[in-house]
Chain A
Amino acid sequence: NAGVMQNPRHLVRRRGQEARLRCSPMKGHSHVYWYRQLPEEGLKFMVYLQKENIIDESGMPKERFSAEFPKEGPSILRIQQVVRGDSAAYFCASSPSAGARVGDTQYFGPGTRLTVL
């Protein structure tokens, strides 16, 4: 039973380019969460999605960042016109139902380390 998959594991972009980060949840999981870990900091919640719906994007920057979780395929975190401050590790987690509210655990992927030159 494969865990949460994220790709690429490492991504290098120049300022102004677009970054696309993919997350495939565990089999049977329909809830996806994205977190960002800046250097020397803990993880910060960005967005919570269910299939085809954004439930909570209160942690997403207002501009340049977007996320989707289509009916088919992985969840995508998209960062347009990247800047150096976007350099971080981006983690995806998935859970089978309503996650921590009912005691389910969020299972984390290995992360994508984005470096903006």
Chain B
Amino acid sequence: AQSVTQLDSQVPVFEEAPVELRCNYSSSVSVYLFWYVQYPNQGLQLLLKYLSGSTLVKGINGFEAEFNKSQTSFHLRKPSVHISDTAEYFCAVSDQTSYDKVIFGPGTSLSVIP
């Protein structure tokens, strides 16, 4: 079974500053990794995903994440945040050897301060 940990429940950051949202996972098998964003009162939108290949994954809205297998991490980064990035961010993992149940982390609330 897999599990996902997002250590920071809330991250306040000033506009135009860089941000890193941390995600660690545990799994006994190979996994796919995802970051989703949820804006207030909306559904989830895929930011980026890691399936295989390059460990640095670029997504939408200027976000990127790096897969580190040895540290079982998949941290999300953005060099300069905007007010519009204020949202809830969910890290998720799926088992490559099984079907499609996606396990989500508890989420990190990013607040961008003007």
Q: Which positions in A face B, CB cutoff 8 Å?
A: 4, 6, 31, 33, 35, 41-45, 48, 55-56, 58-59, 91, 93, 95, 98-101, 103-111
Contacts and interface: CB of A to CB of B under 8 A. Distances in A.
A106 B100 contact: yes
Interface of B: 32, 34, 36, 42-46, 49, 51, 90, 94-107
A48 B100 CA distance: 8
B44 A108 contact: yes
Contacts, number: 72
Contact of A109 (B34, B43, B101, B103): B43
A33 B90 CA distance: 17
Contacts of A48: 99-101
A101 B94 contact: yes
Given A6-B43, A42-B106, A98-B100, 8 more contacts: A42-B107, A55-B99, A93-B102, A99-B100, A100-B95, A104-B100, A106-B100, A108-B44
